[in-house]
Homo-oligomer: A and B are copies of this chain.
Amino acid sequence: MLTNVHLVTVDWGHCDPAGVVYFPNYFNYFDSSTNALFLRALGCNKYEMLKRYGIVGIPLVDVGARFIVPSTFGDVVTIESSVAEIRRSSFRMLHRLLRGDTLAVEGTETRVWVGRDPADPDRLKGMPIPADVVAKLKG
């Protein structure tokens, strides 16, 4: 399965009054890291990906994280992201955020390949992940 490495500079505005990353921001980092993996796999950015495949997004149905070591503003952290499992219309991502050589945060995302429901365009609906996307995510 495909793996991608994404660097993030922890900035002042990501940190809380304790001086460390405010935890929801780790999910922003993981989301960016998933997008970076797709950019590498498909050779197009998310805007073009949505147009090309006629989808609305790849929203999450399940997410989890374990916070082991805090990071602070000025740190440059490394996120190793990999596709862990691909099903018909969903897939699972693993993220490992490293501060230097230390595993600092570990996260997992389950995402769905989602379009508009033809019967009701205000509703979102899971769709089969196209075969070429599956092939590229398998690396």
A interface residues with partner B (beta carbon < 8 Å): 9, 11-13, 15-20, 22-25, 27-28, 31-32, 35, 45-48, 56-57, 59-68, 70, 72-75, 114, 124
Contact = CB atoms under 8 A, between A and B. Distances in A.
List the 4 closest pairs (A to B, CB-CB), nearest first: A45-B74, A24-B27, A47-B74, A64-B64
A12 to B, nearest CB: 6
Given A13-B22, A13-B28, A31-B24, A59 B70 contact: yes
B13 A15 contact: no
Query: How many copies of the shown chain assemble into the complex?
Result: 4
6 contacts: A12-B35, A15-B16, A15-B17, A17-B57, A62-B65, A64-B64
Interface of A is mostly: mixed
A126 to B, nearest CB: 13
A63 B64 contact: yes
A23 B32 contact: no
B19 A13 contact: no
Contacts of A61: 66-68
A90 B114 CA distance: 35
Given A11-B31, A18-B114, 7 more contacts: A12-B57, A13-B24, A13-B32, A15-B16, A17-B57, A23-B63, A45-B74
A124 B69 CA distance: 10
Contact of A63 (B9, B11, B65): B65
